[in-house]
Amino acid sequence: MSGPPLAPGTRPVPGYEILGHLARTGWLDVYDAWSEERDCRCVIKVVRPDRRGEEGLAERLLREGRWLRDLCHPHLVRGYDTFASPEPLVVLETLTGETLAHLVHRLRRRPAAADVALLGVQLCSAVHYLHGRGLLHLDLKPSNVVVDRGHAKLLDLSVARPPGPAPAGLGTCCYRAPEQAREGPLTAAADVWGVGVTLYEVACGSVPFDCASSDGTDTGGRHPRAEEGVPPIGSRRRLPAALAAAVDACLRTRPAARPTVAELTAALKGSLPD
């Protein structure tokens, strides 16, 4: 059983004070904290107490922290510090706004087509930057995007890796590309799928298909309709033809049939009003 989160006032490492517990994920605790050096709030991520002994989790967290500390892009969350002891810990910037996952379910009306296209351009910008540094994100989804007044930032490099051979099942059910569900080589096309399925959900309010089987069990992200082809976005919502075509192209089953990030960016920009 997992132990209680760190109490406010705790100093997990010198220079940082816990202000409150924000969330507990499958393997992490996330905290609101204060940075004495920067004189501002920040976010601290640590491995949950009950999972600290599991092989690979500490290095996975520290690897993400090192990447984010060294990367700098306006649509990517910034990393401040990493600490290997006394327990692995990563410090990130505090973001204002809300996740796309929350925004999608809070809005009474679906976002305007121009807002969907602009979001896609911003996500493509972050993905292009990551690819230029030899990384695939592999977990693009609304809960990993924070939006504040129209400005999006991509979070979470915990499953990121270079292109090439990869174990099956990387990413999140309902959002991983068909090739991510199979063991084999991954390319930039997997992130193009992630951008497409995120835009589909933002535009329509839900993902293109149900990832549970008929008996309710998780299919591991592989759904027959994903393998056969995703229903066109036009079957769910009327959008400008150029935008609908761009989203549909991202969700082609064969990775080689999807547009490149540059081609997708151009298509999304072309669907924006003058």
**Residues noted as catalytic:** 139
CB of 111 closer than 8 Å to CB of 202: yes
Phi, psi for residue 124 in degrees, rounded to 5: -60, -35
Q: Which two tokens stand for residue 162?
A: 């270079």
Helix ranges (H only) for 71-112 are 100-106
Helix (H) or strand (E) holding 164: strand 164-166
Q: How many CA atoms within 13 Å lie on the side-chain side of 131?
A: 18
Omega of the bond prior to 86 within 30 degrees of 0, cis? yes
Whole-angstrom distance, CA of residue 33 vs CA of residue 16: 7
Report which DSSP code applies to 212. Answer: B
Whole-angstrom distance, CA of residue 19 vs CA of residue 1: 24
Whole-angstrom distance, CA of residue 73 vs CA of residue 159: 19
Whole-angstrom distance, CA of residue 264 vs CA of residue 23: 34
Q: Helix, strand, or coil here: 66?
A: helix
CA distances 37 to 9, 14, 62, 68, Å, are: 16, 10, 21, 19
Q: Are strands 79-83 and 28-35 parallel, antiparallel or unpaired?
A: unpaired
